[in-house]
Amino acid sequence: DHRRAEELAAGLAEIPGLNLDLNQPRTNMVFVKVDEKYSIDDIIANLCSLGIYVASPGIGQIRMVTHYQIGDGDIERTILAFRKIIK
């Protein structure tokens, strides 16, 4: 789970408009700060329509959790979804 969270964070960190602290403690959670020009609600709705479920613990932030049901393909699909949504 931690390895997949690191892969997810690294892939999302390459997308302009998303900001991640890659030095945060190693857990199965990934926190993404989103530039103010994007709507968190719109991003979450778009991800949900693609079958990717995330939460927003605070203003301008999205939280994702990896677990035993999340595979490598899910990580790739999530990164590609963010690339599609964040333009």
Examine the pLDDT at 25 and tell me if it is beyond 80.
no
User: How far is the C-alpha of 58 from the C-alpha of 45, rounded, in Å?
Assistant: 16
Q: 24 and 31 in contact (C-beta within 8 Å)?
A: yes
Comparison of pLDDT for 55 and 87, the residue scoring more: 55
The model's pLDDT over 30-56, given as tens digits with 9 standing for 90+, comes to 999 999 999 999 999 999 999 999 999
| Sign of the torsion formed by the C-alpha atoms of 35, 83, 58 and 48 | positive
Examine the pLDDT at 81 and tell me if it is beyond 80.
yes
Query: Both tokens of residue 44?
Result: 């979450």
| pLDDT, position 73 | 96
Q: 38 and 32 in contact (C-beta within 8 Å)?
A: no
